[in-house]
Amino acid sequence: MRSRVRQEQSAQSVIYQKQIDALASGCFRDPFIFLGAHKSGPTSYEIRCFLPGASSVSVLLGTEKIVAQQQGDSHLFVANIKSKTKPDYQLDVSYSNEFTHQQYDEYSFESSLDEQAMYLFNEGSLEHAYQHFGAHFVTQQGVDGVRFTVWAPNASSVSVIGEFNYWQRNRHFMRFHPASGVWELFIPGLKEHQCYKFAITTLTGEVLDKADPFAFKMQQAPGTASVLQKLKTGIQLSERALANRAKRNSVDAPVSIYEVHAGSWQRRDDGERYLTWRELADNLIPYTKELGFTHLQLMPISEYPFDGSWGYQPVGLFAPTSRYGSFEDFVYFVEQCHEADIGLILDWVPGHFPSDPHGLHRFDGTHLYEHADVRQGFHPDWNTYIYNYDRAEVRSFLIANAMYWLHEFGIDGLRVDAVASMLYLDYSREEGQWVANQYGGRENLGAIECLKQVNMRCYAKNPGIMMVAEESTAWPGVTRQVDHDGLGFGYKWNMGWMNDSLHYMQRDSLYRSHHHHEMTFSMVYAYSENYILPLSHDEVVHGKGSLIEKMPGDDWQKFANLRAYYAFMWAHPGKKLLFMGAEIAQRKEWNHDQSLDWHLLEHISHSGMQQTIKDLNAVYTSTPALYEQDTSPAGFAWLDSNNAEQSMFSFIRYAKKAEDFVVVICNLTPQVYHDYVIGVPKAGTYQVILNTDKADYFGSGVDATSHAEQIIVSQAIESHGFNQSISVSLPGLATIYLKKVSDES
């Protein structure tokens, strides 16, 4: 009798040999056609389970237990049951180590894929793709588990591998949906923080272990796995918070941004340990607030494997880096920014991705996320891959990522990195190394459309945010609305102002008169875009030195130059951005592996620089003339733009109320000028509200006026086109601000 049973089992295993071989090899395209419960007769079902390592399997039907027969020496177990309808069952699995486990069969669950969402994904318009793709804790058919979903249309087989199945790629084969190119599987009973990947078998038989592109958490390098993480955000901003955000980010608001690399602002344990998100919340946010900055901008915090990329080569676009703590810790940091009324901007990198084997490159064995042609899909400067913006699913991926940070965390905005590299097909390429668009031009039409869609959708669904472009060319209409043929950004970094003004400031004062135009040229195009004036991390790396060391002269002159330059910047039309360390005049070039040199604050030269920034922000944020009309010619007027001989710049900033204005005078030579006459628009009493030569700042202490309260009364003497003027003392290498505090008596 036993011999006959073995013969029947052996015969049955021969029937299933093709499937057994495919399952054992880890390559099975449609597991639901074979595994699970399948009708075998009018009143019978056959339940097939492939369970590597199992010694015996039984099917549990309520209180009934039916032993499944092992097919030969394979890992396939088959049970025949009497039933007219598809049975509801569990499995009782025993292993060779005598461990017995009761579980649900993954192949007994119906698909929960949202077909409408997949249609939008394939169309390029699925704004919340992260809610459908990746790993999500859900309840399906009354059972708790995780639904895995991944786009890999050209794979021959995809499996979920992880700690929960000993990384076996022949255990959890996924269901393929040919219409959308998406694979999906529900696995019951999984726990948060378990590691996983997708094992993708290509059409050529190659096996690629890939991290989840939509993972909310990833291992810190050198680990490469994704980590199961519940999406616990959905930060709901109150009506008041939304109103504050809109007001804070408006073009007529004071915007002063402190740019920070979270890993090197401060460190603990003699510089060996990063601050955690919670420590950053307790230290960085109060510091930002104390110095008067309105916004905090973090360099990229999406998970990235290589520290030296500073986050600009991310692999986990949806995962806050675990370098600084847990997902929940990052949520806490964001909430504390909201509590402190500090706008939070994140650096976002949609321009390229690295070649790490667990990343997006050749994701399903084909060039899925990147262009196949290296002339379009490879960045020669950075050895990275360029997204294929023409592909609709890639657009959905990037749109959803931007929406994720804004919607789920209530972030104030995104600073989009390297926009110029996205816009131009010939960016950093020689003739013959790039492919023209369909009209023969150099514009990347797919990238342009992607950026437009990102901006339109982000602004429409997240009112009051700010989208910022780091765009280094003269591309027209970067901050123009999309329906007016613009890219739809809210702000653009003014790289021209930064380059010109830094070149000027680096020159010895003896030679500045020959380059006067470098400080005035920016006003020719100041209103062509909504600008942010950036002194960013890019200016203090790769051998460029720190800002203080760019300044000419002896140590006193270096500090005086930098203070005067900052005050010129804060008075110039455009919002402000300053990279960390510049506020304390860090002497060394920025090093991402070290903390800032906070010990420098023991010296008045450095503490004076910090106080200058604090006072600049206080004056700036309390003086509408310095910010209300940044984007309007009515907000600025030169008093004297032609005084090259004395390297002097003077101008007026106007608020929306014309009677509210500030007079700004910059003397960028060491020469002190007494009784310097400057025209003013109105008769009255003027007060010096800022003087960068104050002794408290490490200045020489030359007062603009001899009056103790730093006030000056205008005289009816014509100057600079006005009927009224004032006479001031101008310190060397200094900038002063004057404001009318009362009318003529």
Residues with catalytic annotation?
Answer: 417, 470
Cite the beta strand spans of 8-63 per DSSP E. 36-41, 44-50, 54-61
Backbone angles phi and psi of 565, in degrees to 5: -65, -45
Look up residue 260 and give its DSSP letter.
E
User: Residue 732: how many CB atoms within 10 A of its CB?
Assistant: 20
Element (H, E) at 116: helix 115-123
Cβ-contact 450, 398 below 8 angstroms: yes
Distance CA 526, CA 75 (A): 71
Which tokens hold the place of 601? 């604050």
Place of tokens 């090899």: 25
For residue 172, CA distances in Å to 35, 161, 605 come to: 11, 7, 64
Q: Is the peptide bond before 222 cis (omega within 30 degrees of 0)?
A: yes
Q: Provide the pairing of β-strand 157-162 with 143-151.
A: unpaired
Sign of CA dihedral 430, 431, 434, 437: positive
DSSP string across 448-466: HHHHHHHHHHHHHHSTT-E
Spell out the residues 6+ positions from residue 480 whose beta carbon is closer than 8 angstroms to its own.
486, 487, 488
Spell out the residues 6+ positions from residue 228 whose beta carbon is closer than 8 angstroms to its own.
135, 137, 146, 190, 191, 192, 193, 194, 195, 196, 217
Which tokens hold the place of 404? 């994720």
504 HSE (CA, 13 A, CB side):
28
Cβ-contact 132, 170 below 8 angstroms: no
Rg (CA), the chain: 32
Cβ-contact 674, 714 below 8 angstroms: no
Closest CA to 348 of 288, 273, 405: 405
Give the type of residue at 82. Answer: K
Helix axes 392-403 and 445-461, enclosed angle (nearest 10): 30
For residue 338, CA distances in Å to 345, 348, 410, 468 come to: 12, 20, 9, 20
Distance CA 128, CA 132 (A): 7
Element (H, E) at 557: helix 555-571
% helix, strand, coil for the chain, step of 5 = 30, 30, 45
Distance CA 170, CA 690 (A): 71
Which tokens hold the place of 716? 């009816």
Helix axes 555-571 and 604-621, enclosed angle (nearest 10): 10
